[in-house]
Amino acid sequence: MTSSQMRAVIAGTGRFLPEKILTNADLEQMVETSNQWIMERTGIKERHIAAENVSASDLAVPAAKEALKKAGMKAEDIELILVGTSTPDMYFPSTACFVQAKLGASKAVAFDILAACSGFVYGLTTANQYIASGMYKNALVIGAEVYSSIIDWEDRTTCVLFGDGAGAVVLKAKEGTAGILSTHIYSDGTKADYLQAPGGGSANRFTQQFLDEKKYRLEMIGNRTFKVAIKMMVEAAQTAMKHNGVEASDIKLVIPHQANKRIIDMVAKQLGLDGSLFYMNIEHVGNTAAASIPIALDEALKEGRAGKGDLILMVAFGGGFTWGSALIRL
């Protein structure tokens, strides 16, 4: 690709986390668990939890405003809004439409992308294609989740993992070598039962029995998901590197989906990458699903972990199964 061709460049990032913090000590009072057990198996110390009257769009809007401010843009300038979420405000309208209305982004096309924890990478992929085609000159890509709304707080294997939050990026069309170099996304629906929230759709309609059995809550077969997640994230990262002729020494920063510290450590080991390249904030935010990569990206950039011209590798895995990677030059 020549320098005169258009790319989708990250022009601004933002994040927002609810004020309430749920610590491992708090969870010890709720379920049969311990801080040591949680830390050893997940690396999570605390997570942010939204109030009961707060929706995904409520978290998305302040993250989006911060990203717009950093990009030097107004909401009315945005042409496309994509929200990756598996905990939407409601079935429809889409959460993106609520975000559009709350921002006052009257010119924007807005829709959701449901790819669980891979939702942000799927969103980047979609926005990049619109920008590369010339259809839109900019896009707002958001990951926003309120996983506390679908967690079974009596299930110690899942309730310790997830947190709430939102992260956002503004993409602009720009000539040059910076921007999204490539994205690579994948799906495998044959393993859907490993990680799912089966309730509420047309396949499993709400009945009193359904509610009594808590089938609207998240369900996960942890050991199977763990093994597949490592394999798929490694393969997606390798594909991105090979596609762009990139060596490990070329990468400045890796932003992995913050699912589990042990998963991230294994991915780093199997890729042969120094663990210090992998940005992790899971200790303080937990697994925020589609919001995890943009939240971590905003934190990492604020800390100066990467700058202009640096290569950033993003890699995600989520229910579906879905997984993917993105290689970006700042």
* 5-36 pLDDT tens trace: 789 999 999 999 999 999 999 999 999 999 99
Q: Crossing angle, helix 261-271 and helix 35-42, to 10 degrees?
A: 20
Q: What is the pLDDT of residue 4?
A: 52
Known catalytic residue at 287 = yes
E strand spans, the chain: 6-16, 21-23, 46-48, 80-84, 109-113, 138-146, 164-175, 179-187, 195-196, 219-220, 251-256, 311-318, 322-329
Q: What is the pLDDT of residue 83?
A: 99
Three-state secondary structure along 122-155? HHHHHHHHHHHHCCCCEEEEEEEEEHHHCCCCCC
Q: What is the pLDDT of residue 208?
A: 85
| Matching CATH number, 181-329, of 3.40.50.11740, 3.40.190.10, 3.30.70.2190, 3.40.47.10 | 3.40.47.10
Known catalytic residue at 97 = no
- Report the SS3 class of residue 203: coil
Q: What are the structural domain ranges in the chain? A: 6-176, 181-329
Asked if residues 48 and 285 have their Cβ atoms less than 8 Å apart, the reply is: yes
Nearest Cα to 258, choosing from 224, 213, 297?
A: 297
Please identify which of the residues 128, 138, 184, 257 carries the catalytic annotation: 257
The letter for the amino acid at 59 is L
Q: Quote the tokens at residue 201.
A: 């759709």
Q: What is the pLDDT of residues 78-123, one digit of tens each?
A: 999 999 999 999 999 999 999 999 999 999 999 999 999 999 999 9
Q: What is the pLDDT of residue 209?
A: 82
Please identify which of the residues 24, 138, 260, 287 carries the catalytic annotation: 287
Q: What is the pLDDT of residue 211?
A: 80
Q: Quote the tokens at residue 224.
A: 């199977």
CB atoms within 10 A of CB 74: 12
- How is domain 6-176 classified at the architecture level of CATH? 3-Layer(aba) Sandwich (3.40)
Please identify which of the residues 117, 138, 159, 260 carries the catalytic annotation: 117
- Report CA 11 to chain centroid distance, whole Å: 18
- What does pTM read for this prediction? 0.96
Q: Is the peptide bond before 321 cis (omega within 30 degrees of 0)?
A: yes
- Report the SS3 class of residue 74: coil
Q: What is the pLDDT of residue 2?
A: 40
CB atoms within 10 A of CB 154: 12
Identical fold for domains 6-176 and 181-329, yes or no, is yes
> What gap in Å lies between CA 256 and CA 39, rounded to an integer?
18
Sign of CA dihedral 238, 242, 247, 252: negative
Segment-wise mean pLDDT, segments of 10 residues, the chain, 330 residues = 72 98 98 97 98 98 98 98 98 98 98 98 98 97 98 94 98 96 98 90 84 85 95 98 96 98 97 96 98 98 98 98 98
> What gap in Å lies between CA 38 and CA 27, rounded to an integer?
10
Sign of CA dihedral 38, 144, 303, 327: positive
Known catalytic residue at 48 = no
- Report CA 258 to chain centroid distance, whole Å: 8
